[in-house]
Amino acid sequence: MTFATATQDNQQIFTMQRLFHAQRNEYLAQTMPDYASRVTQLKQLKAALLENKDALCDALSADFGHRSHQDTLLSDILPCVQQINYTIKRLKKWMRPSRRHAGLLLMPAKVEVIYQPVGVVGIVVPWNFPVMLSIGPLIPALAAGNRAMIKLSEFTPQTNQVITALLAAIFDDTEVAVIEGEADIAAAFTALPFDHLLFTGSTAVGRHVMRAAADNLTPVTLELGGKSPTLIAPDADMPQAVERMIFGKCLNAGQICVAPDYVLVPEGKEDAFIAEFKKQFTQMYPQGVHSQDFTSVVNQRQFERLSQWLAEAVQNKTRIDTVHPDAIDLGAHRMVPHLLVNPSDSLTLMQEEIFGPLLPVITYSNIDEAIQYIQQRPRPLALYLMTQDKALQARVKSDVHAGGMAINDSVFHVAADDAPFGGIGPSGMGHYHGKEGFLTFSKAKTVLTKGRINTAKLAVPPFTGWRARVQKLMMAFFLR
């Protein structure tokens, strides 16, 4: 790092710290924004997204080298708009204090839970869905009455420009501020004493984020990833099973934290799976790697990572089937899915989240073996089960841990507005989306209110005379 670059970084870190303190001061001046002001912010955000949807599609395509506009509309813009609509309809109910039971021991009293904004929220955004993963968390943060600082990825500069301009047209920096920069800036960002920090990214970086947050006792929501399995059961109709999972692997060229990372198929059915995958891929993307509806790997660095993992598999004599003759475009860093049959567990692609168009196909002899295969590995962010067997559905739902699950589908469970999204263990912690997002960015504060009558005096010393007799009766009544 040159002296000039270091100086520039220091100036940026100083500006970032100044913005944080400005947001904190403004929050302290207005700690509980009313319903009307929150809804106004959300409506303005929705209008700005719709007004800039074409600019965002163009910018994302420029950042990726090529990204299907439909991918952006479906996975970045649409979920945000739907989430805003859902939130506006339900926000008034979420904001109401909830009445709780005081119980006989505390009577007469009233107990309620009020939902306060936590304060200043930090949001760290990855490169794969920079709109959905910046605006998506911002929606519940604003709905809960907070202010927010957003650290955008350095790998999506064109999209960052549109997002920054979009937000600046609606919000003052003391309401929503956008930060850009590389690893040093990201590290300084996560070290700020936020009231809540939401990070979306890799498990390895998530560990660093959690360490940085721990110094400030900042609560964290970590949306990580991992190796999300697709289990095709023996009873599954293969064309239907492939139909339900192929789009989840091909959307954004598989660069999704909930994309199917590997697929488990019954022994003897791997060739049927591969043939069906090739058939359906060709129907969806007739020109293979040159299809306009198929997205590029985001940059040369990620393309080289995937290429190295593929070369390692070739060297290991792994069977590899490309799903289309036009499979790779080196200059445009584009790659169609490659299916790898029973690759060795020692390969890098079997140890780390793939995050791209490589798909291991693992065969199993019986369903118990398949379930154990999943259970013996780190808990994934998503789990996909292809079966019509109700007993098997119930078994996997109850016995196998994952952040979320879809039966006879893939990826689309994330789009459920009225359900939480989050990981477990190495795939993350905490939830957002829907009401859970509102709760994540709120402090649920219990308030006990008493009037003139104070029964608590019966529980204080000295425990002699009549007090002792009352205490004895109370304990006899309640300790049973």
Encode pLDDT of 76-111 as tens digits. Answer: 999 999 999 999 999 999 999 999 998 877 888 899
> Residue 56 and residue 70: Cα distance in Å, rounded?
12
Q: Which fold has domain 229-420?
A: Aldehyde Dehydrogenase; Chain A, domain 2 (3.40.309)
> Residue 469 and residue 135: Cα distance in Å, rounded?
61
pLDDT for the residue numbered 466: 84
> Residue 350 and residue 278: Cα distance in Å, rounded?
22
| Confidence bin at 452 (pLDDT 50/70/90) | confident
pLDDT for the residue numbered 5: 59
The first and second tokens of residue 377, run together, are: 């590995």
Is 257 labeled as catalytic in the residue annotation? yes
> Is 4's pLDDT higher than 80?
no
Cα Rg of the chain, angstroms: 26
The pLDDT > 70 percentage for the chain reads 99
pLDDT for the residue numbered 461: 85
Beta-bridged to residue 335, according to DSSP, are 328
pLDDT for the residue numbered 467: 80
29-76 pLDDT per residue, tens: 999 999 999 999 999 999 999 999 999 999 999 999 999 999 999 999
pLDDT higher for 306 or 479? 306
| Confidence bin at 464 (pLDDT 50/70/90) | confident
| Confidence bin at 180 (pLDDT 50/70/90) | very high
Is 250 labeled as catalytic in the residue annotation? no
283-337 pLDDT per residue, tens: 999 999 999 999 999 999 999 999 999 999 999 999 999 999 999 999 899 999 9
For residues 203 and 224, the answer to whether their CB atoms sit within 8 Å is: yes
Give the torsion through C-alpha atoms of 283, 287, 290, 294, to 10 deg: -10
Q: Write the CB contacts of 297 (distance below 8 Å, at least 6 apart in sequence).
A: 64, 65, 253, 255, 303, 306, 333, 334, 335, 356, 357
pLDDT for the residue numbered 478: 83
> Residue 254 and residue 269: Cα distance in Å, rounded?
23
Annotated catalytic residue, options 57, 80, 250, 257: 257
Q: What is the largest CA-CA distance in the chain?
A: 93
Backbone angles phi and psi of 400, in degrees to 5: -110, 125
Q: Label each residue of the chain as H, E or C.
A: CCHHHHHHHHHHHHHHHHHHHHHHHHHHHCCCCCHHHHHHHHHHHHHHHHHCHHHHHHHHHHHHCCCCHHHHHHHHHHHHHHHHHHHHHHHHHHHCCEEECCCHHHCCCEEEEEEEECCEEEEECCCCCCCHHHHHHHHHHHHCCCEEEEECCCCCHHHHHHHHHHHHCCCCCCCEEEECCCHHHHHHHHCCCCCEEEEECCHHHHHHHHHHHHCCCCCEEEECCCCCEEEECCCCCHHHHHHHHHHHHHHHHHCCCCCCCEEEEECCCHHHHHHHHHHHHHHHCCCHHHCCCCCCCCCHHHHHHHHHHHHHHHHCCCEEEECCCCCEECCCCEECCEEEECCCCCCHHHHCCCCCCEEEEEEECCHHHHHHHHHCCCCCCEEEEECCCHHHHHHHHHHCCCCEEEECCCCHHHHCCCCCECCCHHHEECCECHHHHHHHCEEEEEEEECCCCCHHHHHCCCCCHHHHHHHHHHHHHHCC
> Is 142's pLDDT higher than 80?
yes
As annotated, the residues of the chain forming the CATH 3.40.309.10 domain(s) are: 229-420
pLDDT for the residue numbered 474: 81
pLDDT for the residue numbered 312: 97
| Confidence bin at 6 (pLDDT 50/70/90) | low
pLDDT average, residue stretch 112-128: 97
Backbone angles phi and psi of 322, in degrees to 5: -85, 145
> Is 3's pLDDT higher than 80?
no
pLDDT for the residue numbered 103: 83
pLDDT for the residue numbered 453: 85
Taking the chain, what is the end-to-end CA distance rounded to the nearest angstrom? 69
Amino acid at 59: A
369-391 pLDDT per residue, tens: 999 999 999 999 999 999 999 99
Average pLDDT, the chain: 94
Beta-bridged to residue 110, according to DSSP, are 449
CATH superfamily of 3-224+431-443: Aldehyde Dehydrogenase; Chain A, domain 1 (3.40.605.10)
> Residue 49 and residue 85: Cα distance in Å, rounded?
13
**Residue 342 Cα distances to 111, 273, 349, 352, 416, angstroms:** 58, 13, 12, 16, 33
For residues 120 and 98, the answer to whether their CB atoms sit within 8 Å is: no
pLDDT higher for 28 or 106? 28
Beta-bridged to residue 124, according to DSSP, are 151, 199
As annotated, the residues of the chain forming the CATH 3.40.605.10 domain(s) are: 3-224+431-443
State the pTM of this model.
0.93
> Is 2's pLDDT higher than 80?
no
pLDDT average, residue stretch 215-238: 96
Annotated catalytic residue, options 57, 80, 223, 270: 223
Amino acid at 382: A
